[in-house]
């Protein structure tokens, strides 16, 4: 559970990313998806990485909302905290 800004920029709301991210062996071969869709979390993150904004992503994937995009980011942050990756120089 993490705070996230509402439309006015306030951080009063709290997000449970688990409410927005699902893994179902019968959907997309069990890969993490935005709940209720077949949009992979990696698809959302791959669109954010080069700088697409929320509006561009929701235009391309109408079943994805600003809130679910943020949930995907929080999910990725959670994974980064839990896993140690050795980086070569």
pLDDT of amino acid 16: 86
Check: CB of residue 19 under 8 Å from CB of residue 71.
Answer: yes
Give the predicted TM-score (pTM) of the model: 0.77
> Does domain 2-82 fall into CATH 1.10.10.10?
yes
CA distance 75 to 34: 11
* pLDDT < 50 positions in the chain: 12
pLDDT of amino acid 49: 97
Q: What is the DSSP string of 19-82?
A: GTEE--TTSGGG--EETTS--BHHHHHHHHTTT--HHHHHHH-TT--HHHHHHHHHHHHHHHHH
Q: Among 71, 40, 69, which Cα is nearest to 56's?
A: 69
pLDDT of amino acid 79: 87
pLDDT of amino acid 71: 96
């Amino acid at each position: 559970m993490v705070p996230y800004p509402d439309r006015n920029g306030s951080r009063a709301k709290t997000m449970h990313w688990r409410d927005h991210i699902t893994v179902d062996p019968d959907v997309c071969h069990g890969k993490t998806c935005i709940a209720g869709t077949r949009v992979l979390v990696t698809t959302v993150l791959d669109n954010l990485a080069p700088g697409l904004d929320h509006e561009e992503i929701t235009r391309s994937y109408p079943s994805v909302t600003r809130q679910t995009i943020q949930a995907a980011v929080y999910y990725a942050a959670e994974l980064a905290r839990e896993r140690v990756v050795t980086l070569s120089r």
